Amino acid sequence: MASKNYAYYLRGSQIALIQEDFTNDSRWKSPVEAITGGLEIEYAYSPRYSISSVATPQVNKFYINGWTVIDGYLTLLRSHSASVPSWQAAPYSTVTSGTEGDTGGQTRDYIVISGSTRWNGLHKVQTAGTDGTLKTYTKVHESLPTVVGSSSIDITAEEDTGSDGIADRSRIAANNSSNIWLNNIFSTGDYIFVSGSEQAVNNGFWKISDVQADASNEIDSGIYITNRYYCYNAANTLSTEGEDTVPDTYATYDESVTIYKAYRDFCFLQTDINILNDESDTIDLPEYLSKALVYYVKAKVAEDMRDMEAKDYYLREFRAIVEKHESSKSWSARKVIPGIHSIR
């Protein structure tokens, strides 16, 4: 029977399995054949964090509509039905209302994202914006278009009808001589996040329904928005994303708004995160393995003191405890050795 060798490596929070291909200079690659009955992998790890409290919407659990990239960093976006929230005001300020090193290691400048198609896991908050943006320290190797219009952006009211006669949409365009051609920056089907408008209802998470054809000036080379995506707020904290197909915008002119290209990714974040940040933290280990950790530390201390005999002794004790712990998880039947009173 041919030998089959497997190995694994960690990819983010996932485990990736690879197989050695003996027919191709023993190179490791994704499994090259089906495995009857599958493979069983058992492993354990100690996470870098724990969530301290029960997740409660609008208390320590907040939904977001998607994300963009600001200054190279992952920035989360939340929109409401007629405005955007301030992450510096209650209840959203709980995300950052705390300092690193609070009692028990609990900090509120760390968040855990769940339900995302890409960003699940631990992140640290960099900037809590008043415009619905929550900037993290997570680097993103992707550049997304951002338009900063300095007193140059016009947004029409929802009754605006384009040249094709389509109503129930709004148009965003830049003033002439602004050198901002929105129809060449964004495309039909793109998601955008608008912030900075004096009319709160104009700000938020939008979908571009279509773009204008190239024209000789900027004001006639705009984009049209229709669907608005939002998170329920106040007393209504449903875990579903709202969608408004009527823009409900107000006409504004010569505004200094910012338009970010965004990705729609309805998910949620949690606060009250307990992280391992200093020597006073408690490592989440079974009591039995805590004894093994003590032996491991003693072995490292002995190694630093060049006491190789003590180092070897402590490492043997460490391995013995770990092996006993792993053996205790085995599902196989064990041989029972009878005692002296059972011998006849």
Give 254-301 pLDDT, tens digit per residue: 999 999 999 999 999 999 888 776 666 666 677 778 888 899 999 999
Pairing of strands 49-51, 273-275: antiparallel
pLDDT grade, residue 107 (50/70/90)?
A: very low
| Contact (CB, 8 A) for 201 and 83 | yes
Q: What is the pLDDT of residues 133-176, one digit of tens each?
A: 999 999 999 999 999 999 999 999 986 565 566 778 999 999 99
Q: What is the pLDDT of residues 209-222, one digit of tens each?
A: 999 999 999 999 99
With tokens 């609990």, the residue in question is 106
| Contact (CB, 8 A) for 265 and 79 | no
- Alpha carbons 270 and 293: distance in angstroms, whole number: 31
| Contact (CB, 8 A) for 177 and 218 | yes
- Alpha carbons 189 and 207: distance in angstroms, whole number: 6
pLDDT grade, residue 102 (50/70/90)?
A: very low
Domain ranges in the chain are 6-43, 51-275, 287-327
| Contact (CB, 8 A) for 139 and 302 | no
pLDDT above 70 covers what percent of the chain? 77
CB pairs under 8 A, 24+ apart, for 275-278?
275/48, 275/49, 275/105, 275/107, 275/110, 275/122, 276/48, 276/49, 276/105, 277/100, 277/101, 277/105, 277/107, 278/101, 278/105
- At 127, list the tokens: 């900037």
pTM here is 0.71
